Amino acid sequence: MTKLRVGVIGTGMMGCEHLKNLMGIEDAVITAFSDPNEDPRQWARLTLGDRAATAREFVHHQDLLSSGLVDAVVVASPNFTHKSVLDDVFDADIPVLVEKPMCTTVEDCISIVDAQAERSALTWVGLEYRYMAPIAELIQQTKNGVVGDMKMMSIREHRFPFLQKVDNWNRFSRNTGGTLVEKCCHFFDLMNVVIDARPIRVMASGGQDVNHLEEFYDGERSDILDNAFVIVDYANGVRAMLDLSMFAEGSRHEQEIVVVGSTGKVEAQIPGDGQIYVGDRSTRQVAEIPVAISDDVAHVGFHFGASFVECQRFVDAVLHNRAPEVSVADGLWSVVIGAAAHRSIDQGRAVQISEFGLSPSIL
């Protein structure tokens, strides 16, 4: 094939973001989209503009999958629908990029990992933070050994509250997997990538202290956590920490990522000042390494070009029969840490990852 025919399932905020990404990829053409709600379908039409005339519109994703119009799909439907939608995609054996989190529960993630092992088409999980230019350079620097023997990693996200989604589905933990799954799977994925080991224990403290306290839907109050500290111990002895506040709009940086080892330290900020910082213990000098969004990024969007890079690499992987860079195992492990953190908060104790009954093949 010369161009990959792509369909988008779910055309809310992130679905339309992916439409914009795909519109900027020369090797892809958007041939279909689906959403059960009229408003998101209208958002898709507006996003596509003139291209809407050549993209078939569906209410039900099953009809899109059986239409014969797509070679691959992007799933950006609400979190709680991912498992059922992926089941249908897998039945069709179509390549898929599924937005984070892969599923809302560890059990459903394990089911997807098992099912993927039985099919030929690839599944790519949308954990795009690893493609942000400053974070990608931080990952590369740590893999180059600039910090020596890695010992600690910390991530701070101080930001605005959750945005409003269609039918307010993201106001309840049962729909999202909980804040530490829904939002923070990105950060737990970064920990896993940088530290390159399996997590073994999670300790967390968090709560809902400021946001959504007076929000009621059908008589039920929103239960979304808006702040937490999470500590993760890894099998190789590295410790990682997440500091999350979702009522901190007045911050210089939304995200700060720091890796410290026996000989040095690497720091990145999002949005940054066009560079990351590498410190050397022996000289006490700090080097500034320039980083920038690539000129090849056609749509910068919400994630500083990262979701465009993700879509571009997904399209390339499908067209050239390459393995996904972000696998279903990556999706699982990012959710496992978030689920363990929620259990730690709920039960007031450290949680062993072994409690989730992961099979030896997944471990």
Domains assigned to the chain: 4-128+311-325 (3.40.50.720), 130-299+330-356 (3.30.360.10)
Q: How far apart are CA 114 and CA 20, in angstroms?
A: 32
pLDDT string in tens for the chain (363-residue length): 689 999 999 999 999 999 999 999 999 999 999 999 999 999 999 999 999 999 999 999 999 999 999 999 999 999 999 999 999 999 999 999 999 999 999 999 999 999 999 999 999 999 999 999 999 999 999 999 999 999 999 999 999 999 989 889 999 999 999 999 999 999 999 999 999 999 999 999 999 999 999 999 999 999 999 999 999 999 999 999 999 999 999 999 999 999 999 999 999 999 988 999 999 999 999 999 999 999 999 999 989 999 999 999 999 999 999 999 999 999 999 999 999 999 999 999 999 999 999 865 666
Sign of CA dihedral 18, 255, 276, 141: negative
Q: What angle do CA 268, 269, 273 make, to 5 degrees?
A: 105
Q: Is the dihedral of CA 78, 79, 84, 85 positive or negative?
A: positive
CA distance 343 to 206: 11
Q: Which pair of tokens denotes residue 66?
A: 């059986």
Q: Which residues pair with 241 in a beta bridge?
A: 154, 231
* Three-state helix/strand/coil letters over 16-49: HHHHHHHHCCCCEEEEEEECCCHHHHHHHHHHHH
Whether 44 and 15 have beta carbons less than 8 Å apart is answered as yes
